[in-house]
Structure 1
Amino acid sequence: MYFDIAVFTTTAITLIVIMDPPGQIPVFLSLVGKRSPEYRRKAAWQAPLVSLFVISIFAIGGRAILAYLHIGIPALQGAGGLLLLLVALQLLMGTSGQKQEADEDVNVALVPLGTPLLAGPGAIAAVIVAVSQVHGEIGGYLAIAAGILVAHIVVTLALLFSTNIINVLKVSGITLLAKIAGLLLAAIAVELIATSVIGFAATA
């Protein structure tokens, strides 16, 4: 029943590295920078909540869900990569802002911020592996839960404080940031798709 500090530390650090809170700031600002301050604050805590929900679901029954649907980690990586590539193309071509103006009901905190940027294939796989290594110990499960929660608190703080940067960047700065974020997202997407292909080839 003891709380496993080693498991907690490993889980928290692994998720923070994978979710990369500083790296999410440019993408977050490029997606919500032209929205109202209320929307930005709402998105800053909604996206981590969505990620927390998705990762918790996979922590509880990830292996069972994937087995039932006959889905492997490479398939998750491929799907996440394709979705991120679509978002990257929108940012690079400057169409994301037009879509937001045309449809104010679009909630970017759900997709792509909450998933697959935060709750992506890497984070999901890391949680599934961590749970499988605990071997039924209650203290280990509690440590994993605490690690997941701490990682999301760090992400939430990073996104909340990033909203202050918008006042400095202005519209022109946000537009430039969107182009940079689009390029970075495209690179991440290609990496995910390549990893997915390698994973499929290894299991073939």
Structure 2
Amino acid sequence: MAFPKRKNIKEEQRQLLVIVGSKNPVKISSTDSAFHQAFENTAFLVEGLNVSSEVGDQPIGCEQTYLGAFNRAKNSKLVFPEGDFWVGIEGGVEENEADEMSAFAWVVVIDKEDKVGKAKTASFYLPKVIADLIKGGMELGDADDQVFNRENSKQGNGAVGILTNGAVNRKEYYAQALILALIPFVNKSIYI
């Protein structure tokens, strides 16, 4: 009597391709981290792509910031349709009635079936000196560089990392919102 052949337990697993609508290393790294945390037994290859957000360099307000993130995901899919997921991350600022300015980011994930997952990061208030530079037309990253004597902080720990002395890491800050944006994909049966 012959025994049936055993299947190789380490059968080759196809990597799913995730395209991030930015070449910013923090955005790519946070996306990689979030997808691997949300889908523990799935292999992902995460690549960045320069695409337009179709909004200003410094989005103002929640709607414009969301639109920038959505457009980055959508445009990534248009440019590289061979992917499995497309991600847009857009940082923005918003003023309140008290003339204070907060910073935050929107995250949008689109899959092959055009299902959309979205989430917003926590927000935090900026110091007046930075808010004034932004009101004068400067991007948040450039304002951070000027005030804190840094170079290219937007591709590093950004305002959130600088202002919290590293207690809130920008990669983890984005990754948390990314994981929340992945909820509809992790729970497909109840997000129709």
Q: Normalising by the residue count of structure 1, what TM-score does the alignment of the two structures yield?
A: 0.24
More contact order relative to length (CA 8 Å, sep ≥ 6): 1
Q: Normalising by the residue count of structure 2, what TM-score does the alignment of the two structures yield?
A: 0.25
Q: Which protein has the larger Cα radius of gyration, Structure 1 or Structure 2?
A: 2
Higher strand share: 2
Higher helix share: 1
